[in-house]
């Protein structure tokens, strides 16, 4: 604590991101990055855009909004761009959730939601998941101040069908329901088809996972023009240029290179099934993930010690020291080579020597 801090700076409980280690020899499976590099088109576009760094970027980001609108069959008025989806989430809390009115989110979910709730003084009801870690739909009805959850949920990876999302929307007609679709490209289908029918639906997606651009920081929201205007009002009261020239240029090409996106996404989904089968053969319990990670546990292996042992052997996975998650590890889907290394190390750690 410092005497120079405002009461807000004293009260906040900052989010703790997964470890970012600058060491190419480490196999990094802890922050759900894409194991494949971005499309070559992206790199060329960033190179070209670097010639104009002297100039401010577009404050309205129209070209990228149109590209994202096109692939979703919506006009650019339905799209908002931000500096990573974390920023879009923060703006959404400010734009749509009211201090004093309780929002609902799952008890086990993305840990940034409680951080934003505290930062913006928004009270919340944390809804317990069902015993099988699925979302109890009815408990999200009739919220006092709005609803937010990821689909697939994080860190469980469990996907919720559109029919259920529709019911949550229908039962919250006066409040915004935010569906954080950070991992949706690895799952069955986006809720974007519901946007025209539900003016209270805000979808948030990111280029960090399926488009291999975690380092570029581009996230976006899809919703009714009414909601998008609300986000614009907040953004333009904070910083007119939240996304830079290089990020805009790279993101446009990442959307345009659909073939590369399809190829890398398919490979990750195939590797997910392979890793799941391999871990099940080693008696791990695995939640049914539709994301680019698996949440795993083992009755006879302590999750924290497995995390520590893997780390010693050069493989970083995510261990959450949080109630309800003590027995789990979250493992991001790597390349086939990384997965073989992981399995080799796991075998070495869990198999007692003869």
Which positions touch ligand PLP (CB under 6 A)? 32, 84-86, 110, 150, 154, 180, 182, 206, 208, 214, 219
Q: What's the alpha-carbon Rg for the chain, to the nearest Å?
A: 21
Whether the Cβ atoms of residue 122 and residue 93 lie closer than 8 Å to each other: yes
φ and ψ at 294, to 5 degrees? -125, 140
Query: Least distance from C-beta 120 to ligand PLP, angstroms?
Result: 17
Q: Pick the closer one to ligand PLP by CB: 57 or 219.
A: 219
CA 1 to each of CA 316, 330, 340: distance values in angstroms, whole numbers, following the listed order: 31, 33, 46
- Closest distance to ligand PLP from the beta carbon of 317 (Å): 14
Question: Which residue's CB is nearer to ligand PLP, number 218 or number 310?
Answer: 218
Choose between 69 and 84: whose C-beta lies nearer to ligand PLP: 84
Taking the complex as a whole, the smallest distance from the CB of residue 200 to ligand PLP amounts, in Å, to 20
By C-beta, is 85 or 143 nearer to ligand PLP?
Answer: 85
Is 34 or 206 the residue whose CB approaches ligand PLP more closely?
Answer: 206
Nearer to ligand PLP, 180 or 253 (CB): 180
Residue closer to ligand PLP, measured from CB, 110 or 261: 110
Closer to ligand PLP at the Cβ: 253 or 346? 253
Nearer to ligand PLP, 149 or 198 (CB): 149
SS (H, E, C) the chain: CCCCCCHHHHHCCCCCCCCCCCCCCCEECCCCCCCCCCCHHHHHHHHHHHHHCCCCCCCCCHHHHHHHHHHCCCCHHHEEEECCHHHHHHHHHHHHCCCCCCEEEECCCCCHHHHHHHHCCCCEEEECCCCCCCCCHHHHCCCCCCEEEECCCCCCCCCCCHHHHHHHHHCCCCCCEEEECCCHHHCCCCHHHHCCCCCCEEEEEECCCCCCCCCCCCEEEEECHHHHHHHHHHHCCCCCCCCCHHHHHHHHHHHHCHHHHHHHHHHHHHHHHHHHHHHHHCCEEECCCCCCEEEEEECCECHHHHHHHHHHCCEECECCCCCCCCCCEEEECCCHHHHHHHHHHHHHHHCCCC
Smallest gap, in angstroms, from Cβ of residue 2 to ligand PLP? 28
The nearest distance, CB 86 to ligand PLP, in angstroms, is 4
Burial of residue 281 (number of CB atoms within 10 Å: 0-12, 13-18, 19+): exposed
């Amino acid at each position: 604590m410092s005497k120079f801090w405002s009461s807000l700076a004293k009260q906040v409980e900052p989010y703790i991101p997964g470890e970012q280690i600058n060491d190419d020899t480490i196999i990094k499976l802890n922050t759900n990055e894409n194991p494949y590099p971005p499309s070559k088109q992206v790199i060329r576009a960033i190179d070209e855009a670097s010639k104009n760094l002297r100039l401010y970027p577009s404050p309205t980001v129209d070209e990228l909004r149109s590209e994202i609108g096109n692939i979703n069959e919506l006009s650019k008025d339905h799209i908002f761009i931000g500096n990573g989806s974390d920023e879009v989430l923060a703006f959404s809390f400010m734009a749509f959730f009211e201090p004093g009115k309780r929002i609902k989110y799952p008890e086990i979910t993305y840990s940034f939601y409680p951080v934003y709730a505290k930062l913006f003084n928004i009270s919340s009801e944390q809804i317990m998941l069902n015993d099988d870690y699925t979302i109890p739909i009815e408990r999200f009805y009739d919220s006092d101040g709005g609803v937010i959850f990821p689909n697939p949920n994080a860190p469980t990876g469990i996907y919720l069908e559109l029919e259920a999302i529709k019911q949550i929307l229908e039962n919250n007609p006066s409040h915004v329901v935010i569906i954080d679709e950070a991992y949706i490209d690895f799952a069955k289908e986006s809720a974007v088809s519901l946007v025209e029918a539900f003016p209270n639906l805000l979808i948030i997606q990111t280029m960090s996972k399926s488009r291999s651009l975690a380092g570029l920081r581009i996230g976006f929201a899809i919703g009714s023009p009414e909601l998008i205007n609300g986000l614009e009002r907040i953004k333009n009261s904070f910083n007119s240029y939240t996304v830079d020239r290089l990020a805009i240029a790279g993101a446009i090409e990442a959307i345009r290179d659909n073939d590369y996106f399809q190829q890398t996404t398919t490979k990750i989904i195939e590797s997910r099934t392979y890793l799941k089968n391999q871990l099940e053969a080693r008696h791990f319990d695995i939640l049914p993930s539709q994301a680019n990670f698996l949440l795993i546990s083992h009755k006879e292996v302590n999750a924290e010690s497995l995390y520590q042992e893997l780390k010693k052997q050069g493989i970083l996975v995510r261990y959450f020291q949080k109630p309800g998650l003590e027995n789990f590890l979250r493992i991001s889907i790597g390349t086939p080579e990384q997965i073989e290394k992981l399995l080799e190390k796991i075998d070495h750690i869990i198999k007692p020597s003869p």
